[in-house]
Amino acid sequence: MKKLKFLTLAAIAAATAMVSSCSDNVDLSTPTKEAEGKALVVNPTVDGSRIVTTTSGDFTSFKLFGFQNPPSTQPLFFNGTDGYVYNGAIGSAWSPTATGAKWPANSDTNSSNFYALSVNGGSSLPSYTGVDLADIQQGKFSYTAPTTAGGDVDLSKQEDILVASRLNALQTDNNGVLNLPFTHALAKLTMQMRFNSYENDKTTGDIMDNYVYTIKSITIHNVKLNGQYSFSSGWTPSDVGDVTINFSPAISINSKHLTGDAEYQDIIDNAHSIMIVPQTTSSSAWVSTNENKHTLAEAEAEGTSYIEVLGWIWDKAETKNALMGDFSWTDNEAETFLNTYPLGSLDISKANTDVVYNGQTGKNIGRSYQFLVDDNRDACPVYFPFPASFSFEENKYYNIRLNIYKGLYDTGVYAIFGAGQV
């Protein structure tokens, strides 16, 4: 299973600016250059439609590539496949330097294609970003998710890739100023959980308000991790794998007496959002009811995309009572312990000599926890299928909402329903 770690998004707010340029010193090729014409002025903007986590001040540079048409017969220009780095600041006047980017001498009659990339608002393309520009002259680049030394996908190194293009441009267009509207090449994902103690039974409630859902990890199964991006037609995703977010320490949400249908709690928030290669998921089969149960094994055989939440549902009040009864602790001592060592911070399945509280070891303390799903001291998986033919699109933000009452066991039955626990 491929495991992806947390991603910190660096999206950019909408803005407009004139920019200056300087040459890129990295020697990737030795193209034949066309005679130079007038200085090329660029006006970049950044799409602010997605929820952002940083300010527009983080957008300070990008790399621009330009090729005359038709690319197969015209000489390369604009520093060839090295491109040019444009530096500046949103909101200030940007203009090219004397040695900066130039239109080709015949650009009034021969059109050009321009492609631009920025990573987190900068022009650096570090190797771990996974961007391969070998086909940039054809208006394409390939993307491979960065990996750890063990071969797992490392989401902590995945970056926000911004792209812009202008095709068939002439120097006579727009007074020679090249407009480049940047957008986000990847899709952004956050996640919330609904844990309502009165979900089905609106009078007496399904579960108690003091129940807690402690989450150890979340995995998005059977999604495509890599792909090729075309500036004209978008993504061709490839390589199916899993996206795993490990929480260390585990996170917890409390059950609530909710009154509205739209009340959810954050489990992957905006600051720790995930990047997904745009794609249509495979989710046509896993639809379970009490009469027709579709199993996890069947879903896996069909390549269905689904989310797995690994954790425990437990009763905090009963656990406090057990700690007080088992070890003669006071209410305050039990409450202090649960606040200091919440479930998930201890390995409750075996002795833990690193944690000793009032003379008790982690193993003994773990026996006092009151579990509601499977009564399992190991974290229990609950599964949520994607809707049929669900799509992640580039430059869009998705907030996935999970309702624990819709979660399934691998047998296809609901993990929780009504007042009963199974």
Closest-CA residue to 102 (of 40, 51, 53):
40
In a domain, 8, yes or no: no
DSSP string covering 325-337 = HHH---HHHHHHH
Contacts of residue 234, Cβ cutoff 8 Å, sequence gap at least 6: 278, 394
357 and 373 housed in the same domain: yes
Cα 13 vs. chain centroid, distance in angstroms?
18
Q: Which of 185, 214, 233 is the last residue of a domain?
A: 185
DSSP string covering 119-155 = ETTBS---GGG-EE-TTGGGTEEEE---B-TTS-B-G
Q: Domain holding 87: CATH number?
A: 2.60.40
Which pTM was predicted?
A: 0.82
Bridging pattern class, strands 84-87 and 20-23: antiparallel
In a domain, 328, yes or no: yes
Structure tokens at 223: 């999604």
Identify the DSSP state of 362.
H
In a domain, 168, yes or no: yes
In a domain, 14, yes or no: no
Position 221: which residue type? H
Q: Where are the beta strands (DSSP E) in 126-233?
A: 131-132, 140-143, 161-169, 177-184, 187-194, 211-230
Amino acid 310: pLDDT: 94
In a domain, 245, yes or no: yes
Rg (CA), the chain: 27
| CA–CA distance, 337 with 343 (Å, rounded to integer) | 10
Amino acid 36: pLDDT: 59
- Mind listing the pLDDT tens digit for each residue in 365-382? 877 888 877 667 778 899
173 and 208 housed in the same domain: no
Q: Which of 185, 211, 243 is the last residue of a domain?
A: 185
The total domain count for the chain is 2
Q: Give the chain's residues under pLDDT 70.
A: 1-39, 41, 43-45, 47-56, 90-99, 202-206, 283-285, 287-292, 347-354, 374-375, 417-422
SS3 406: helix
210 and 160 housed in the same domain: no
202 and 327 housed in the same domain: yes
46 and 166 housed in the same domain: yes
Identify the DSSP state of 371.
B
Torsion of CA 152, 12, 116, 398, to 10 degrees: 50
360 and 304 housed in the same domain: yes
Closest-CA residue to 125 (of 168, 170, 162):
162
Structural domain boundaries, residue 96: 20-185
179 and 213 housed in the same domain: no
Identify the DSSP state of 92.
S
Amino acid 237: pLDDT: 97
| CA–CA distance, 279 with 269 (Å, rounded to integer) | 22
In a domain, 7, yes or no: no
Closest-CA residue to 240 (of 230, 227, 251):
227
244 and 229 housed in the same domain: yes
The answer to whether residues 373 and 380 touch, using CB atoms and an 8 Å cutoff, is yes
153 and 263 housed in the same domain: no
Amino acid 215: pLDDT: 93
In a domain, 207, yes or no: yes
In a domain, 5, yes or no: no
75 and 100 housed in the same domain: yes
Q: Which of 156, 185, 214 is the last residue of a domain?
A: 185
316 and 395 housed in the same domain: yes
142 and 236 housed in the same domain: no
Amino acid 81: pLDDT: 80
